[in-house]
Structure 1
Amino acid sequence: MSHSYIPFELYKRKWIFNHKDLPVSDDDKALIKPLADKSAMEVWNKWISNKSSRAELFEKGDWPAKQDAWSATEHWQSAWDSHDNALPEAILEHIKWPDDTVIYFCYEKYQVLETRWDVFVRNWKCFLFFDDGPILMAPKHKQALMFEQNGQYKLGVRG
């Protein structure tokens, strides 16, 4: 599936990657690709849900709504608030993907970012300025993460 992208400069949420306290290198910015609406919808429909448009609307039949899709719930907020930029240890133990793994960070049906695993690991705090249930997944791998507004995240496996 080939995707179309929004130029980074025109992405309406680009401020999250231009925050003075959490600088993102130009090299990493070049690898953060906002998907155009149609491509975002295709990714969401194929890998997240073809019924629900965002996390709080997941319903029976959507894999993220299945209790057994998620193996553990941990806290991300304290790591996010700290001066240490490292991803929480449990995430790094759950996901051992090669650096250049293509990932999708899916906020909702029409808000999906494509990037690489190493770019996410370095800049994860920026992605979480919007924390209303985004799901991180990689088409070539089964592991997934879901970040919740209550400061918790869930480690899981896509159904």
Structure 2
Amino acid sequence: MSHTYIPLTQYTRKWIFNHKDLPVSNEDKAHIRPLDQKSAMLIWNKWISNKSSRSELFTKGDWAAKQDTWKETGHWQSAWDSDAPQLPETLAHFIDWSGDAIVYFCYDKYQAIETTWEVFERNWKCFLFFDDGPLLVSPKKKQAVLFHQNGQYQVGHRG
């Protein structure tokens, strides 16, 4: 499946990767690849849901709506507010992806960013400037993370 990307300089939310308090290296910016709407829809439909367009709309039949999908809940807000760059502990222990694994950070059906696990791990706070239910998935892995606006996240295995 080939995707169409939006240059980061033209991405409507590019400011999240240019914030003075959370600098992103130019090397990492080269690996932060926003998808156009059609490509984001393809990713969402294939890996997340072909019924719901946002995480708060998940319904019966969506893997993310199943109770047994989510194994643990953690808090991302306190780690985000801290000066430490590390991922929240539960999340860091749950994900065992290689640094070069392709990941998709999906804000909703129409907005997603492709990057690598190591770039996401270094810059996760920037991605979460928009925290209204985004999901982190990797096509070749079953683990998934759902971030909630209340400062919590859930880790689990997608169906």
Question: In the TM superposition, what is the alpha-carbon distance from 1:96 to its structure 2 partner?
Answer: 1.0
Answering whether residue 21 of structure 2 is matched by residue 21 of structure 1, we say yes
Answering whether residue 112 of structure 2 is matched by residue 102 of structure 1, we say no
Report if aligned partners of 2:54, 2:108 keep a CA contact under 8 Å in 1: yes
CA distance in 2, matches of 1:127, 1:80: 11
Q: Which residue of 2 aligns with 1:45?
A: 45
Answering whether residue 153 of structure 2 is matched by residue 153 of structure 1, we say yes
CA distance in 2, matches of 1:12, 1:26: 18
Q: Which residue of 1 aligns with 2:90?
A: 90
Answering whether residue 118 of structure 2 is matched by residue 118 of structure 1, we say yes
Q: Which residue of 2 aligns with 1:2?
A: 2
Question: In the TM superposition, what is the alpha-carbon distance from 1:90 to its structure 2 partner?
Answer: 1.0
Output the aligned Cα RMSD.
Answer: 0.5
Unaligned runs of 5+ in 1: none
TM value normalised by structure 2: 0.99
CA distance in 1, matches of 2:16, 2:55: 20
CA distance in 2, matches of 1:67, 1:149: 19
Q: Deviations over 1:90-121 (max 9, x none)?
A: 11110111100000000000100000000000
Q: Which residue of 2 aligns with 1:65?
A: 65
Q: Deviations over 1:1-41 (max 9, x none)?
A: 01010111110000000000000000000000000111000
Q: Deviations over 1:132-151 (max 9, x none)?
A: 11000000000000000010
Q: Which residue of 2 aligns with 1:79?
A: 79
User: Following TM superposition, where does structure 1 have runs of at least 4 consecutive aligned residues deviating by more than 4 angstroms?
Assistant: none
Identity of paired residues, percent?
68
CA distance in 2, matches of 1:56, 1:33: 25
Aligned AA for 1:93?
A: H
- Count of aligned pairs between the two proteins: 159
